[in-house]
Structure 1
Amino acid sequence: MHDTSPTPDGNDAARVVDAPADNWVDRSAPRFTRPFLRLSRADRPIGTWLLLLPCWWGLTLAMLFDQQPRWFDLWIFIGCGAGAWLMRGAGCTWNDITDRHIDDKVARTRSRPIPSGQVSVKGALGWMIAQMLIALCILLSFNGAAIALGVLALLPVAIYPFAKRFTWWPQVFLGIAFNWGALLAWTAHTGSLGAPAVVLYAAGIAWTLFYDTIYAHQDTEDDALIGVKSTARLFGDNTAQWLRRFLMGTVGLMGLAVIFALRDSASFLALIIALSGPWAMGWHMAWQLRSVDINDNDKLLRLFRVNRDTGMIPLVFFAAALLA
């Protein structure tokens, strides 16, 4: 059963049950905006971080690659932050529109704004378009190649909500969409797509498979009842073995991306510092792996959320390598 107590804004509709109890939307946002902000998951910022961090990986690795940091990179950094917030919101809105008949059958999701009646489908569509248009304005400030990549990113975003209906690997489609920023930010800095960015993108997909499989284990019983597929259901009791493979894939691919990017341009010290990023990230993922209990939903949600810190780790090392 989901919480049916009034929300902090005095409405009868329930607070979204998997949002932090003290989130800023329920506490401080203007009342009329709260249903739309909940629709964008603004009350749960972890998704924005998971979308944004690959962008910042791509930007810092590109700066290491050509050793040509510019003032415009500061705008790329800021623009990626705003764009990630907007496009994560638009993507979540699209996801909730397409999943509205599934969400009302799952305990964790039936309190979301559309199935709970806080926002109509027409209102959600208008909100999605508004977020996308603002994000487009940011994208148009980048170079042509980055703009083309940004437009192309709409394809995996559009497909992802349907993936769990036709494949046991919907987390792959989420990874394709969520890590696209690694390609875009690299290209926004360098002007063209390069092999290090593609390998970094693959590392991000492996990371997404790791954290979203953990997340998906919260819904395995409901998903089985309604026929929704996921890697969590596919792996079952073998989840730990698969998570270990995704951990190794993340670390190995990110390490290769660093080597490809820095081998001809950076100092040996910068290379060592940058390579320490995926190594340290791997240790953090290994700690998560040791803590996973697929039958403890509270722990699963906590582990999912700490992946903001996981993704911050290589970014810190890449930034430090820029100073070496």
Structure 2
Amino acid sequence: MTNTDQTPPTSGTVADARADNWVDRYAPAWLKPYARLARWDRPIGIYLLFWPCTWGLALAAIANPERGFDWIACILMAIGATLMRGAGCTFNDIVDRDIDMQVARTRSRPIPAGQVTARQALAFLVAQALLGAIILFQFNRFTVIAGVASLVLVAIYPFMKRVTWWPQAFLGLAFSYGALVGWSSQTGGFSPAILLVYFGTILWVIAYDTIYAVQDIEDDALIGVKSTARLFGSKTRPIVTGFYAGAYALWLAGATMAGAGLMFFALSLVAAGILAWQVWTLDADVPGNPGVRFYSNHYVGIALVLALLAEWVW
């Protein structure tokens, strides 16, 4: 049932966070609202931002075997993904604070719930962005410039749900950028191979975020927020299937151009199987079903990076 009650919840726990998450259990009271702003209690976004970075690093290792996989860059990108995902979510919550108050799943977030003011959230945003910049400046000049350019995508994304039915496409442009950053950190530029992987990742993000947005269709319709879930409607499953198929095809093409072979192709079928399971079992009428399918994309990321690393070792 749609919940349009605009009274902030009394509990500090965010509605779509797991009840036993580490923030609620262990974080000090003063940190909890900020940790929730950065989604540390819901780390799936960190994973989905980080895995494309590892794909770029692993593809660069396959293309240049003598250089190998840069584990230091991998660690830096994990930290950077945590900071920039937190900064992006904080910015999103500042911009969407009025909308979040009207949606059952989001009105328990720190700003609409009154746990943090917009001014405090802005200060937290700046702190995360500055720390993220320190991480970014550890890489070559091309990667730094590319990373700074990606901030335009991060900045415009929260506004897209107001003006287009395709906000998921803009999320895809931003969330897939790690593949370009990972590759360029090792090569000093882009290539057709990594661009194919980037475009494939955009399709992947559009598809999985459409599944995620299925949970909010009723609330979004009431308040006039646009999404691909609302746009696709009853055709969501076949359209998402098409996006996933396109993503996998582009990943295979990009990996082939970078030098991947049968080892990657065989092991990447695990990722393809998870994507197929998602669309085969997706049922928007079953509470929690879309959320579980969305979260399983974490394992898609793991499966692909392991397939790429196995190819590099082979």
Q: What residue number does 1:40 align with?
A: 38
- Correspondent of 2:94 among 94, 97, 100: 97
Q: Which residue of 2 aligns with 1:108?
A: 105
Deviations 1:242-272 (A, max 9, x none): 011011111100000011111xxxxxxx511
Q: Note the alpha carbon deviations across 1:18-37, whole angstroms, 9 max, x for none.
A: 00110000000111000000
Aligned equivalent of 1:23: 21
SS of 1:259 mapped into structure 2: helix
1:210 aligned partner: 207
Supply the AA of the counterpart residue of 1:15: T
SS in structure 2 of the partner of residue 95 of structure 1: helix
Kept in 1, the 8 Å contact 2:52–2:179? The answer is yes
The alignment's C-alpha RMSD in Å is 1.6
The Cα offsets for residues 17-61 of structure 1, whole Å up to 9 and x where unpaired, read as: 000110000000111000000000000010100000000001101
Q: Which amino acid aligns with 2:306?
A: V
Q: Which residue of 1 aligns with 2:12?
A: 14
Alignment counterpart, residue 231 of structure 1, candidates 207, 224, 228: 228
Of 42-51 and 188-197, more deviation after overlay is shown by 188-197
One-letter code aligned to 1:306 = S
Which runs of no fewer than 5 residues in structure 1 stay unpaired? 7-11, 263-269
* TM-aligned CA deviation for residue 14 of structure 1: 3.3
SS at match of 2:257: helix
SS in 1 for 2:152: helix
The match for 2:48 among 41, 47, 50 is 50
Equivalent AA in structure 2 for residue 55 of structure 1:
C
Answering whether residue 241 of structure 2 is matched by residue 244 of structure 1, we say yes
- The residue aligned with 1:257 is 254
Give yes or no for the alignment of 1:284 onto 2:274.
Answer: yes
Question: Structure 1 residue aligned with 2:152, among 127, 151, 155?
Answer: 155
Structure-1 residue corresponding to 2:66? 68
Q: Which residue of 1 aligns with 2:169?
A: 172
Once residues 306 and 57 of structure 1 are traced to their aligned partners in structure 2, the CA distance between those partners, rounded to angstroms, is 18
Question: Residue by residue, what CA displacement relative to the aligned partner does 1:81-111 show, whole Å, maximum 9, x if unpaired?
Answer: 0000000000000000000010000000000
Deviation at 1:70, TM superposition (A): 4.7
Contact 2:8 2:112 in 1 (8 A): no
1:320 to 2:293 alignment? no
Per the normalisation by structure 1, the TM-score is 0.93
**Could you tell me which of 112, 135, 139 is aligned with 1:138?**
135
One-letter code of the match for 1:318?
Answer: L
Matched-pair identity in %: 45
Q: Distance in 2 between matches of 1:236 and 1:125?
A: 36
Q: TM-score, normalised by structure 2?
A: 0.96
Q: Aligned match of 2:292 in 302, 307, 311?
A: 302
Is contact 1:251-1:279 (8 Å) kept?
no
Task: Give, in angstroms, the shift of residue 216 of structure 1.
Answer: 0.1
Contact 2:161 2:225 in 1 (8 A): yes
Which stretch of structure 1 is more off in the superposition, 287-296 or 41-50? 287-296
Structure 2: distance between partners of 1:292 and 1:70: 39
One-letter amino acid of the counterpart of residue 236, structure 1 = G
Give the secondary-structure state (helix, strand or coil) at the position aligned to 1:31: coil
Runs of 4+ deviating beyond 6 Å: none
Report the CA distance between 1:277 and its aligned residue: 4.4
- Asked whether the equivalents of residues 153 and 174 of structure 2 are also in contact (C-alpha less than 8 Å), the reply is yes
- Between the two proteins, the alignment pairs up a number of residues equal to 310
The 1:5–1:26 alpha-carbon spacing in structure 2 relative to 1, beyond 3 Å, is: farther
Match of 1:221 among 218, 223, 235: 218
In the alignment, the residues of structure 2 paired with residue 229 and residue 57 of structure 1 have an alpha-carbon distance, to the nearest angstrom, of: 31
